Amino acid sequence: MMNPPVEALLDRVESKFGLVTLAARRARDINSYFNQLGGGLGHMIPPQVSSTARKPLSVAFEEIAADKIEWGEPVEEQPEADLPVGEGFDGDNDAG
């Protein structure tokens, strides 16, 4: 049995797919945080809940249940507007 139950977590996201995606992304972040602890980098966010769970995915589910993280659409970077345009290009693709 999983604690917290999946049914309780589905209220916080739009679908089961969203729940799995959110938990997997956060579990990767938690895993990266624990892997970089000795490196002194300090740019990763530590776990947001006190947990006895040893696995990052379990901690991620506990964070979702505690409303510490929530689903948000990823921000896409816009391409540069000042890209150089090749000379003599008129948009035709015929080679002859």
* pLDDT at residue 20 greater than cutoff 70: yes
Higher pLDDT, 46 or 59: 59
29, amino acid identity: D
Tokens of 16: 């089961």
By residue count, the chain amounts to: 96
CA distance 23 to 48: 13
Indicate the pLDDT class of residue 94, thresholds 50, 70 and 90: low
Q: What is the pLDDT of residue 35?
A: 80
What is the pLDDT averaged over residues 17-43? Answer: 81
What pLDDT was estimated at residue 89? 53
Q: What is the mean pLDDT of the chain?
A: 75
Say yes or no to pLDDT of 44 above 60: yes
| Residue ranges covered by each domain of the chain | 6-65
Q: Are 22 and 69 in contact (CB under 8 A)?
A: yes
